[in-house]
Structures are given as C-alpha cells and as structure tokens.
Amino acid sequence: MADCGAEEEKGDFGSPQGGERRMIVQPTSLEDPKLNKLKEVLVEWINKTLKAEHIVVRALEEDLYDGLVFHHLLRRLAGVQLHAEEIALSTDAQIRKLEVILTALNETLEMSEETAKWNVKLIHSRDLLATLHLLVAMARRFQSDLVLPVNVSVEVIQCEVTKSGIKADKQTEFITFQRSDCPIDELFKLEAHKIETVKKAILHFVNKNMSSLGLNVTDLDKQFADGVILLLLIGQLEGFFIPLCEFFLCPVGSSEMLHNVMLALDLLIDRGLPVQSVDPQDIVSQDVPATVKVLYYLFNRHKNK
C-alpha cells in the first residue's frame, strides 16, 4: 500500500495542510496498459495541436507543470489570449501563471474550483491524476471526436490530514467514464442540484437557438416528448429545413409522437451523433436521462458556435 508520507515534497507550496485531501496513485496502477494508452493518446493530441508552435511534449508529468503547454492549448483551442508570462522560470512566476491559466480554463470548461479535480497546487506539483483529469476535460470540450480509452481507472489512496493524524482510504478513481463515454450516464448518479445545473445550461442553450422561431422551452422533461421542438432544434443547429410533410407538427396520440422522435434520432445518427442507444419510446415517455442525453450531444457539438 502507498505511504501517504512518501510523496515527494515540492517545497512549502506542495506541503499538506490541515483538512486537505490528496489522491496518491498506487504504483501498480501506473503500469496499467489502459492508463498508458490514455497518456499516449493525450500526448499525441497535444503535439498535433501545438505542432505549428514547435512545442513537443514527451512526459505529461514533467512537461505541463509550469503552465506553458496549457497556455498554448488554451490559446490554440479556445482563442483565449491571456496576459501571462510566456516562459515562467521561478516557482513563484510559474504559480502566478498557472493561477491565471486555470482560472481561464475553468471558466471555458464551465467548471467551478469546488468541482474541478485539479488546481494550481496539484498541477504544479506534477500530480499525474489531476493533470489527466484536466486534459481529458479539455479534450472532451475542444475535440469531442478524439477517441479516448474508456474505463480508465487507477487505484488511489485518499489521504486527509486531521487533528489526530493522517487518515487514509483506498478507492478507485475513474479518469474516463466507468460505464459509458457519455457523461450524462454518470451525471444522473450525482446529487440532484448538480443534475439541475446541467439541465439549466442545456435549457439556456436550447432557448438561445430557438428564439428566432419565437419558441421558448421551460420544461426539458416534458416539452420534447412529442418530438416537434427536437426536430425544429435539429434543423436550426444543423442548418437545414425539415419539410412539414415529413413529421406531425401537432401530433395526436403516442404513435405520431413516436414517429417524430424516431425521425429526429435518425437525423442525428445520419449527422454522426452517437444516439443509437437511445430508445425513442423513452423520450415519448418523458424519460429524463434519455431526453437530456440527446440534447447533450447537440449541446456538445454546437455550444461554441
């Protein structure tokens, strides 16, 4: 078992504080082929993205801690220009730079400091787990077609400094999603307020794109059940008109509603969205996870447009 006190010290900035929790990866997990494959895919993605800037990453643990690579990725992928030193040599300068970069990244990823699995301290201390969590979040946000290994996990010791000493618990930490590559499946395992936060973001996205049609959605759980708004939303986002003769604009009964939803899912599959696992009857039946999953894929494709 890993020793919580055996972690390499990085000066005062890396020293544990009272009440702090830290994840320490078990050495055996570092040999997991799936973990190494994930690291390879991410390194290749970074190098391909930053090829024009002549930046080459060889080891995630050693090449990202000072913020330079994250700075260039943020600029290249999100077009965010930051007032930060290009090259930070001293520890203090690197920390200041990381604070600026991670603040901007969290805003872009719509992630709060409380829910993010990374922070300045972890990244600067070369914490592999935090670095991987951040890179996976960036890849999913900025390059959703990047194929990442699924079910990548590591065994960790979670250490917490308490008044009575160090408390340690062994657990499994997933870096890519446990059962599915779709985060919505994982979302509905979380607390209700986190689910509502995501639903509000998707609702805002829907109404922003439906306003030109004079339509307003107030209830994601019910208003997509007949397929009409879903079809109109697809047309708005994907840039084509669905002839009114192809669907029921005012469906009567579940069979007409099912026809509309099946047409919508077929259109999304044709456009390359992975909704094959969604049962159209679930949407008609106002199954919330099924509805949110379909809307999430549209949101993920078009949120930056």
In tens, the pLDDT along 87-137 reads 778 888 889 999 999 999 988 887 777 778 899 999 999 999 999 999 998
Name the fold adopted by 183-303: Actin-binding Protein, T-fimbrin; domain 1 (1.10.418)
pLDDT at res. 182: 61
Q: Is the pLDDT of residue 3 over 50?
A: no
Query: What's the CA gap between 56 and 63, in Å, rounded?
Result: 9
Q: Which two tokens stand for residue 107?
A: 């805003």
pLDDT at res. 72: 92
For the chain, count helices (H), then strands (E): 13, 3
Query: What's the CA gap between 215 and 208, in Å, rounded?
Result: 10
| pTM exceeding 0.85 | no
Q: Is the pLDDT of residue 15 over 60?
A: no
Angle, CA 257 vertex, CA 292 and CA 189 arms, to 5°: 20
Lowest mean pLDDT among 197-201, 216-220, 239-243, 272-276: 272-276
pLDDT at res. 70: 93
Name the fold adopted by 21-174: Actin-binding Protein, T-fimbrin; domain 1 (1.10.418)
Break the chain into its structural domains and give their ranges: 21-174, 183-303
Lowest mean pLDDT among 21-35, 163-177, 234-248: 163-177
User: What confidence tens digit (pLDDT) does each residue in 125-157 have?
Assistant: 999 999 999 999 899 888 877 888 877 888 888
Q: Kindly list the distances between the CA atom of residue 215 and the CA atoms of 3, 60, 236, in Å, as whole numbers in the listed order.
A: 58, 47, 12
Q: What is the DSSP letter of 249?
A: S
Greatest mean pLDDT range, 152-156, 225-229, 237-241, 300-304: 225-229
Q: Is the pLDDT of residue 40 over 90?
A: yes
Average per-residue pLDDT for the chain: 83
Q: Identify the CA nearest to 219 among candidates 305, 122, 304, 288.
A: 288
Q: What is the mean pLDDT of residues 30-48?
A: 94
CB distance 156 to 129 below 8 Å: yes
Query: What's the CA gap between 153 and 45, in Å, rounded?
Result: 20
Query: What's the CA gap between 72 and 49, in Å, rounded?
Result: 9
pLDDT at res. 2: 36
Q: Is the pLDDT of residue 57 over 90?
A: yes
- SS3 for 85? coil
CB distance 71 to 101 below 8 Å: yes
| Fold agreement (21-174, 183-303) | yes
Give residues with Cβ within 8 angstroms of 52, minimum separation 6: none
Q: How many CB atoms lie within 10 A of CB 9?
A: 11
User: What confidence tens digit (pLDDT) does each residue in 156-200 have?
Assistant: 887 877 777 787 878 778 788 544 456 666 676 667 777 788 888
